């Protein structure tokens, strides 16, 4: 268990913690998170602020685990598998909850999860044909946009909310479009390689 894999495991733990934090009906248990009124018009629930802080830390580990694994020449199949699980639990789990709580349109997690299923199926198909498929640049850009958008959303889109710009939703929609685009790129690259 190297440092990179430990960071990935910590991201899985943080993702599960986020899901539990947002799913438990704390008010029914007699636990109330402080709520703040900002600028006289923005009502902020500290539960989402705490989630946002944990989410950002998890996103930072997503960058460093891959960087450390490559730097120390510790890239492994188990590491790649854990990384994929961590990403799916963190992003997809959070998107489902945010849609359930009414922060985003339900279509977003449906599209993202469907895209992940398609890409995983394509990777399985390519592996059976002896082809190793690496993440394309569009998938990485999509992840960056999604992480920035979700982070802003959890922090109530501050400071853009003061300018009446829904930057959080804009970034999440861009990430959703890019996720579909990257899946199409995966499809054509894999099909082209298999035909060869």
pLDDT in tens, 121-176: 888 888 787 777 777 788 889 999 999 999 999 999 999 998 899 999 999 999 99
Instruction: Of 30-39, 89-98, 129-138, give the lowest mean pLDDT range.
Output: 129-138
Average pLDDT for 85-106: 95
Confidence label for 21 from pLDDT (cuts 50, 70 and 90): very high
As to burial, measured by CB atoms within 10 angstroms (0-12 exposed, 13-18 middle, 19+ buried), residue 166 is middle
Question: Pick from 172, 105, 182: which is nearest to 139 by CA?
Answer: 182
Residue 99's domain comprises: 3-195
Q: How far is CA 140 from CA 4, 17, 109, 146, in A?
A: 18, 24, 18, 10
Number of domains present in the structure of the chain:
1
How far apart are alpha carbons 153 and 166 in whole angstroms?
9
* Residue 133 belongs to domain with CATH number: 1.20.120.1760
Q: How far is CA 109 from CA 75, 174, 177, in A?
A: 29, 13, 12
Residue among 134, 132, 146 at smallest CA distance from 179? 146
- 111 vs 95: CA distance, rounded Å: 11
Q: Which string of DSSP letters, residue by residue, matches 34-45?
A: -EEEETTTEEEE
Adjacent-strand bridge partners of 144: none
- Percent of the chain past pLDDT 90, that is, above it, reads 57
- Average pLDDT score, the chain: 90
Pairing of strands 42-45, 35-38: antiparallel
Residue 113 is predicted with a pLDDT of: 96
What per-residue confidence (pLDDT) applies to 160? 94
Per-residue confidence (pLDDT) for residue 150, from 0 to 100: 97
Tell whether the model's pLDDT for residue 46 goes beyond 80: yes
């Amino acid at each position: 268990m190297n440092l990179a894999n430990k960071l990935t495991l910590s991201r899985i733990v943080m993702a599960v913690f986020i899901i539990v934090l947002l799913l438990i009906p704390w008010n029914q248990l007699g636990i109330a998170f402080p709520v703040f009124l900002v600028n006289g018009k923005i009502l902020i629930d500290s539960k989402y602020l705490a989630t946002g802080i944990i989410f950002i830390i998890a996103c930072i580990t997503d960058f460093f685990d891959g960087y450390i694994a490559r730097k120390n020449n510790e890239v492994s199949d188990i590491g790649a598998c854990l990384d994929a699980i961590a990403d799916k639990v963190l992003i997809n789990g959070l998107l489902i909850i945010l849609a359930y709580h009414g922060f985003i349109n339900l279509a977003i997690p449906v599209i993202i999860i469907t895209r992940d299923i398609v890409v995983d199926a394509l990777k399985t198909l390519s592996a059976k044909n002896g082809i190793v498929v690496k993440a394309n640049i569009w998938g990485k850009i999509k992840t960056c946009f999604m992480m920035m958008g979700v982070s802003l959303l959890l922090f109530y889109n501050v400071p853009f909310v003061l300018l009446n710009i829904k930057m959080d939703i804009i970034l999440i929609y861009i990430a959703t479009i890019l996720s579909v685009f990257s899946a199409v790129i995966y499809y054509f690259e894999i099909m082209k390689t298999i035909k060869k």
